[in-house]
Amino acid sequence: MSRIEIIQNRLSRTGIDLLVLRDQGNIIYAVDSERPVSGLLLIPRSGEAKLLVTPLEGVNMSYSLNGVRVVKLDRGEGYLQRLLREKPAGLKYVEFDALEMHEALRLEKELCVLLKTGSRIVREMRLVKDSREIDKVKRAAEIASQTVSEIASRLSEGTTEVEVASEYDSLIVLKGAFKPAFETIVAFGENASNPHATPSARRLKRGDIVLIDAGSDYLNYKSDLTRTMVFGERLEECEAARIIEAVEESKKAAERKAFPGVKACEIDKSACEVLEEYGLGKYFAHGLGHGVGIDIHEPPSISPSSNEELKAGNIITIEPGVYMPGVGGVRLEDTYLITDSGPLKLTNASFK
């Protein structure tokens, strides 16, 4: 059964006549595409699904994508204009995954239907990955891990953050990735105190902390990892050694908790407790992790406020960090597949 058919079964059970997808990740998932695709996807309760695409997007597309009919807009025509032309007859209840309120009010009037936004039908399906999705994330993880390991082994004094980030971005494409999963973070020394540092012309010096946060996009599926090391010095002789140890122990505590049925907030709490024991809790500035798949950040959120329970088939990150302004920062992160027997680590970059 195709994903479109599974969605249509859910529409039948809930009485929804038409589901309209605007989010690119939801569209890619629903049509099961291995290349980037965007547009407006119309999925009726029964019958033919249609993907509306712009003339530019449709230049090299056939008239069918995995059984979904591709409808190319006229030049200058908007998606919502075309929706009014392509809508199935007899509509009463329509759901969108994303729609601005002013658009929703206008469409509800023009379509003469009950319209709801924020549909979670496809988002919920995406939470648990199937075997093909898992294989793609595994390959994305392998590419990122191999590349980070190679770069770490070649670091040299005087190189800049920008040079390291650029080398990573180029190498993963040569290994088969579409592109980086997000803007690659490379931070040296005090710059590592910024969790979302932008690579700069800062040059690497002996004794600097080196933080690399990187991922790859393979056939639309992402991976995410972070490694931290001290350049040119034995770790046990460095001031950062205790911080790295604390973050490692925090991450291990979260791993021991990451089983199906456990609430995400409990996993976050287990990691935070370790950092508190080291007196570093106040320097942890973000949630512990997030889901990974077609999007680099997707449910479940691993954070203090998340009551979502992990399920077998979830793919998540665990990424505790300590950030000291003006001094530096340490973050360790891996991508995991949640199984009935616990978390399976998919990213395995060495960084020493």
| CATH code at position 44 | 3.40.350.10
Residue ranges making up the domain that contains 227: 131-345
* Element at 53 (helix H, strand E): strand 50-53
Beta bridge partners of 345: 336
User: Which CA distances in Å does 333 have to 141, 159, 196, 316?
Assistant: 12, 24, 14, 10
The answer as to whether 99 is a domain residue is yes
Domain for residue 176, yes or no?
Answer: yes
End-to-end, the C-alpha distance of the chain in Å comes to: 47
Q: Are residues 197 and 224 in the same domain?
A: yes
Query: SS3 of 140, please?
Result: helix
- What is the dihedral angle through the alpha carbons of 25, 30, 36, 41, rounded to the nearest 10 degrees? -90
Q: What is the DSSP string of 65-127?
A: ETTEEEEEPPTT--HHHHHHHHPPTT--EEEESS--HHHHHHHHHHHTSEEE----HHHHHHT
Q: Which of 322, 302, 342, 296 is nearest to 141 (CA)?
A: 296
Give domain status of residue 351, yes or no. no
Residue 352: the pLDDT is 62
What φ, ψ does residue 210 adopt, rounded to 5°? -120, 120
The domain spanning residue 210 has which CATH number? 3.90.230.10
Length of the chain: 352
The residue among 85, 102, 126 that closes a domain is 126
Answer with the one of 126, 143, 169 that is the final residue of a domain.
Answer: 126
Do 196 and 330 have their domain in common? yes
Q: Which of 215, 219, 28, 48 is nearest to 125 (CA)?
A: 28
Q: Which helix (H) or strand (E) holds 130?
A: none
Report the candidate in 199, 183, 180 with the shortest Cα–Cα distance to residue 191: 199
If asked whether residues 170 and 103 sit together in one domain, one would say no
Q: In this structure, is residue 352 part of a structural domain?
A: no
Of 104, 126, 148, which residue is a domain's last?
126
Q: Are residues 60 and 177 in the same domain?
A: no
**Tens digit of each residue's pLDDT, the chain (352 residues):** 899 999 999 999 999 999 999 999 999 999 999 999 999 999 999 999 999 999 988 877 888 889 999 999 988 888 888 888 888 888 999 999 999 999 999 999 888 899 999 999 999 999 999 999 999 999 999 999 999 999 999 999 999 999 999 999 999 999 999 999 999 999 999 999 999 999 999 999 999 999 999 999 999 999 999 999 999 887 676 778 999 999 999 999 999 999 999 999 999 999 999 999 999 999 999 999 999 999 999 999 999 999 999 999 999 999 999 999 999 999 999 999 999 999 999 999 987 6
DSSP assignments along 232-269, one per residue: TS-GGGSTTHHHHHHHHHHHHHHHHH--TT-BHHHHHH
Laid out side by side, the sheet with 40-44 consists of 64-65, 68-72, 50-53, 40-44, 18-21, 93-96, 114-116
Closest CA to 216 of 174, 155, 161: 174
Residue 2 Cα to chain centre, angstroms: 23
Domain match, 192 and 271 both: yes
DSSP 8-state class, residue 189: G
Contact 224, 148 (CB under 8 A): no
SS3 27: helix
Q: In the prediction, which pLDDT does 128 show?
A: 98
